[in-house]
Structure 1
Amino acid sequence: MEFDLESQPEIVQTIAGYALQGWELALTWLLSPAAWSQFALLIVAYLAAVVITRRLRPALARLLDPGDSDTVLAKARRFVAQFLPLVLPLMAYVLTGIGESVVRSIFDSGAVIAFGKRVFLFLAVRAMVRDIISDPFLKLLGRYILIPIAALYALALLGPVATRLEATVVPLGNLSFNLLWLLQFLAVGGVIFWLGQWSNSQSSTFIQRQEEMRPSLRQLVAKSVEFLIFGVAFLVLMNIMGINLSALAVLGGAIGVGLGFGLQKIASNFISGVILLVEGQATVGDYVELDGGEAGTIVKMTARAAILETYDGRWIVVPNEDFITTRVVNYSDSGSANRYEAPFSVSYNTDINAVPDIINTAVSKLDFVLDTPEGPDCELVGFGDSGIDFAVEYWVNGIDDGKNKYKSHVLFAIWNALKEHDIEIPYPHRVVEMKGELRTTPL
């Protein structure tokens, strides 16, 4: 049966041509004794690989098992152990390669066994993507780029497909590029920037472990290393893909003009962030309060803004410029000790000379109250309408959680101490004086 494909689109004719070539090749293999011998050799090589793998893989697993050790050598052994699923297809590939040399010396032909080698290599790539790669981005690249490339290579179609993609040119204004270049750019760029992200994560972890450095300096070094890594990754990508960096000069000038006019705030916040990291006036972990009323603990500092976490769990994004141009109160900058005050009142019938010693003794017994820079200090504040007003000042480590974390315990201690010494805590009351005769109206 013959089909007239002249009226069909070019791609249909191309596919039909490849299908016809495959059919003719299959018929040639089916009628060739050399092809049958190569098929048999492929089966023998695979079965031999299965037998060897069943004995070799458990031994390798025991050899590479580091137990609970966390040394550099143990990490290397764990890394190598991840590749054990590749033992079977690679062993079959090696045995098939040995058989190919034998077949070619006998029959002067090895097309079938070469096809088997490519299939085993495809199975190795598939096992690596499915069982070994765990990173989501790399798994995505493997699933949609690496496996299709391996499949085309196994079918001996990688060359023709690459030629076809290279011949397909996409115009873009004054520029143009082919589809093969675009796919290479996406794949290489993805791998390079993933390596940059991984390198940045490792370097950031190492820098954060350097406790002898100030937190702000660690942040600055980590950010500098991040910019350096991705800058180098960008330059490497441009060089690999053959892009002339001088062509980016116009783009860089346009970006500079944009920063000068339309992105002034972003540039100002970026420079303010660098100043903050260099001077260390505010860093991650500090509790700060700004003129605008924003207050909280700095949990993250980015290139544009700092993120404050309030005591009720809300996050406030504060531009870095606000830390430079406005007044900022840093409760953690001069040390972790902070002073607070707890007010109270006693009755006018109280011997007020004894109150300071009673309260100072009671508050000093609390385990969170510090003796330095100063112990509890009870002071007379004034004479109120209902009682005599006092306040006790005390120092603690850290920040009072909404003025309740420490103050509540201090007020409990004051109450118990006053009750223990029979000191009355006043409450508002009024005396009503009635002048004149009180008259009652009979019912």
Structure 2
Amino acid sequence: MFEGIEPDYVYHQLIEIIENYLLVRTNLIELIIFLIMIFAAYFLSKITATRIEELLKKIKFFKENKIKRAVNRLLLPLILMLLISAYYVIAAVLNLPLAVISIFANLVTAWLIVKSITLFFPKKKMFKFLSVLIWIIAALRILNIYEETISFLDSLAFRSGNLRVSVLLIAQSLIIFSILLWAADRISRIVSRQINKNTDLTPSVRVLLNKIAKFLIFTAAALFALSSLGIDLGAFAFLGGAVGVGLGFGLQKIVSNFISGIIILADKSIKPGDVVEIGDVYGWVRELDTRFVSVVTQAGKEFLIPNEDFITKKVINWSYSDNLVRVNVEVGVSYDSDLRLVEELILKASEGKKRILDSPKPSCLLMEFADSSVNFELRFWISDPQNGIHSIQSDVLLSIWDNFKEHDIEIPFPQRDYHLRSMSESISESINKNLAGLGKNSKQEDNIEQE
């Protein structure tokens, strides 16, 4: 199994490595100094932790839970890094050895960076990716092959026109784009919070500013990433023509909805919380997006209506200027009814309803003398159209029904009376024959039943 392997040779090689590297006097001194630094950093972190937390709490930008987590994770490696930096200064003055300390400095630097990243990427795949990358870079520097590895990755390349793409460029692109897009997301969230805190702005203006800020921040991050990689942005000029052709064909609706969304936000015709009615959809606006408006009905259905429809179609905004909405309820009574009593009973039906406002007061109007009924209309106001119009109409109609039943008020239904003033002899004879035939059939049926 171990054929070809000489145990004595391996033993002598290990002894040689230990003697040449581990048991060298200067290396042992550096190792002892580093161990002293670790103990000193540990005790300093325990002593200064509470004081640093109190100082950071005075800065309103930091949250208390994040301060404690940051101190627990970063204080020890940070103090150790400061001690190593101090040793570098002393070593430069006194000409002390730095071989072992340099190795540990790379490891501590990687440790500090990884711990810092955990504060911003908790439980995320991106953190694992960056952590592995940092440890790889630290290992390459310790082995003193970092520059050779970079040169090798850069040599694995191909050209596409004037653009040179290498493995190193791809790796750098992934790292830079990941960091910049994360930073852009963080910055856009901070800007969004500041915009939303401004109560002087209307909801629609806040949504518009949020979307513009997000677009500008992410666009700037992408352009900065490309320029930092040394890519000539003029190489992508051909995309302008392709995008123009796409806009002319497949992207017409998308662009139309995007522009319509900007118009809606700018003219403040629709804003989150409004109660709208478009087509057969009635509900309240939950969200304004660049492509659609989210409208939620009372049944819990969420309709994603394209922004273009709110520009080109008839839209009823029940809460455009205010939330006051007048509701009409029509009811008809028979001509035999006491109309004064009917008016009183209809007004009484609007009393005791929490949703009906006392001011403006409900009113009852006699509208017309129709063919079969006398028609009244009850008018009242509500301030919560988001809770539905038909529901309050139903409540009022049920109360009117109960009041009419109690006072024997009749709600008529259409009736028609036909009077035949003249009839020809042929029609009269035909009717008499039919009536006679019906009489005979009924007698035959009676005889059959008796048998």
Normalised by the size of structure 2, how large is the TM-score?
0.77
Q: In the alignment, which residue of structure 1 is the partner of 2:311?
A: 324
- Aligned partner of 2:28 among 25, 36, 52: 36
Q: In the alignment, which residue of structure 1 is the partner of 2:48?
A: 56
1:242 to 1:353, Cα distance in 2 relative to 1, 3 A: same
Q: In the alignment, which residue of structure 2 is the partner of 1:198?
A: 186
- Aligned partner of 1:266 among 230, 237, 254: 254
Q: Which amino acid aligns with 2:278?
A: L
Q: In the alignment, which residue of structure 2 is the partner of 1:10?
A: none
Matched-pair contact (CA < 8 Å) for 1:288–1:332: yes
| Secondary structure at 1:83 match in 2 | helix
Structure 1 range deviating more: 82-91 or 139-148: 139-148
Matched-pair contact (CA < 8 Å) for 1:340–1:393: yes
Q: In the alignment, which residue of structure 1 is the partner of 2:429?
A: none
Map 1:211-222; keep pairs closer than 5 Å: 211-222=199-210
- Aligned partner of 1:414 among 400, 425, 432: 400
Q: Give the CA deviation at 1:257.
A: 2.0
Q: In the alignment, which residue of structure 2 is the partner of 1:17?
A: none
- Aligned partner of 2:223 among 231, 235, 252: 235
| Secondary structure at 1:284 match in 2 | coil
Q: In the alignment, which residue of structure 1 is the partner of 2:265?
A: 277
Deviations 1:110-130 (A, max 9, x none): 201221222222222232234
Q: Give the CA deviation at 1:322.
A: 1.6
Matched-pair contact (CA < 8 Å) for 2:357–2:382: yes
Matched-pair contact (CA < 8 Å) for 1:41–1:99: no
Q: Which amino acid aligns with 1:393?
A: R
Q: In the alignment, which residue of structure 2 is the partner of 1:351?
A: 338
Q: In structure 2, what is the Cα distance between the partners aligned to 1:137 and 1:197?
A: 16
Map 1:149-298; keep pairs closer than 5 Å: 149-172=137-160, 175-291=163-279, 293-298=280-285
Q: In structure 1, what is the Cα distance between the partners aligned to 2:358 and 2:63?
A: 53
Q: Which amino acid aligns with 2:60?
A: A
Q: Give the CA deviation at 1:34.
A: 0.9
Q: Which runs of 5+ in 1 are unaligned?
A: 4-20, 67-72
Q: Give the CA deviation at 1:428.
A: 8.1
1:129 to 1:236, Cα distance in 2 relative to 1, 3 A: closer
Q: In structure 1, what is the Cα distance between the partners aligned to 2:168 and 2:56?
A: 40
Q: In structure 2, what is the Cα distance between the partners aligned to 1:2 and 1:251?
A: 64
Matched-pair contact (CA < 8 Å) for 1:122–1:151: no
Q: Give the CA deviation at 1:259.
A: 0.9
- Aligned partner of 2:127 among 139, 145, 170: 139
Q: In the alignment, which residue of structure 2 is the partner of 1:300?
A: 287
Question: How many residue pairs are counted as aligned between the two chains?
Answer: 413
Q: In the alignment, which residue of structure 2 is the partner of 1:339?
A: 326
Q: In structure 2, what is the Cα distance between the partners aligned to 1:203 and 1:173?
A: 40
Q: In the alignment, which residue of structure 2 is the partner of 1:70?
A: none
Larger radius of gyration: 2
Instruction: Report whether the alignment pairs 1:363 with 2:350.
Output: yes
Q: Considering only aligned residues, what root-mean-square deviation do their CA atoms show, in Å?
A: 3.9
Matched-pair contact (CA < 8 Å) for 2:360–2:380: no
Q: In the alignment, which residue of structure 2 is the partner of 1:18?
A: none
| Secondary structure at 1:74 match in 2 | coil
Normalised by the size of structure 1, how large is the TM-score?
0.78
Q: In structure 2, what is the Cα distance between the partners aligned to 1:429 and 1:274?
A: 52
Deviations 1:258-317 (A, max 9, x none): 2123322222222222222222222322222224x3333222222222222222122222
Q: In the alignment, which residue of structure 2 is the partner of 1:120?
A: 108
Matched-pair contact (CA < 8 Å) for 1:306–1:317: yes
Structure 1 range deviating more: 236-245 or 371-380: 371-380
1:199 to 1:65, Cα distance in 2 relative to 1, 3 A: closer
| Secondary structure at 1:278 match in 2 | helix
| Secondary structure at 2:350 match in 1 | helix
| Secondary structure at 1:295 match in 2 | strand
1:404 to 1:289, Cα distance in 2 relative to 1, 3 A: closer
